[in-house]
Amino acid sequence: MTRRLAIIPARSGSSRIPDKNVTDFCGRPMLAYPLAAARTSNLYDEIHVSTDSPHYADVAAAEGCPVAFMRNPDLASNDTSIPTVLRWVVSEYAARGEVFEEVCMIMATAPLLEDTDLIGGHRALNEADGAYPVLALAGFPAPVERGLIIENDSVARFAQPNLRFKHSQDCPPQYFDAGAFAVFTAVHLQDETVRVYTDYTPYILERHKVTDINEPEDLAMAEVLYLGLQAHTRYTDTA
């Protein structure tokens, strides 16, 4: 039977939104939402919040997920790659006699993620026979070929002026990392030289579940989306 581990990286030190990983989000700590999605998915034998912060560990414990061990402070810098953190957590569990065949990295700042998305991600991994890690993606809302950039002279110009008049239907769909989750096999994580994976099995998230929360404006938008989804659910349930 496949044993699965969910790892939620939550280091301290965010500057643009202080303590972003546990900041208030619609009345609960941000971290509580991906934790809830991981629990209700019933996928994981263990859910681990990887943090260097005793405060974050207390928040995780209050949400029903005590932290088994704290992250090595040497792995809590901006320069530490996610795969490096995942490998270290897996090795710490192995030293405790716990081995996992699948590892899901879930971002602490993905409050719109649902348990069904995590289930779909693991299904995608299995359907592809674990050929590549699964990465949650979202589609750009407009053709990137028609994007503009604002240069040093404060003038907006088309980044690809030769594609300015290309019809949107002729532009192939393009995607970005949704900043939500990724799923790995133990084999994927064995190569310690890999900092960034280049090939993925895609799992496409609905765009209304995707927000890259870096600035206060992003946080406000995510709350609007969350509250709107809650209202929409109540409406459809009573309609």
**Which structure tokens are listed for 20?**
């972003």
What is the extent of the structural domain holding 207?
A: 4-139+175-238
For residue 130, being part of any structural domain is answered with yes
Stretch (H or E) spanning 106: strand 102-106
Write out the two tokens for 183.
Answer: 């799923």
**pLDDT, tens digit, for every residue of 182-234?**
999 999 999 888 888 999 999 999 999 998 899 999 999 999 999 999 998 88
Domain assignment present for residue 129? The answer is yes
- List of residues 6+ apart from 31 with CB closer than 8 A: 8, 10, 21, 22, 49, 56, 59, 60, 63, 108
Beta bridge partners of 106: 181
Q: Is residue 81 part of a domain?
A: yes
Note the pLDDT tens digit of each residue in 10-58: 999 787 899 999 999 999 999 999 999 999 999 999 999 999 999 999 9
Which CATH number goes with the domain that contains 69? 3.90.550.10
Name residue, tokens 């932290």.
67
Is 145 within the bounds of a domain?
Answer: no
Q: Which residue shows structure tokens 């404060």?
A: 154
> Confidence band (pLDDT; 50, 70, 90) for 239?
confident
The pTM assigned to this predicted structure is: 0.94
Q: Are 101 and 90 in contact (CB under 8 A)?
A: no
In a domain, 184, yes or no: yes
Query: Structurally, how many domains does the chain consist of?
Result: 1
Distance separating alpha carbons of residues 2 and 10, to the nearest angstrom: 26
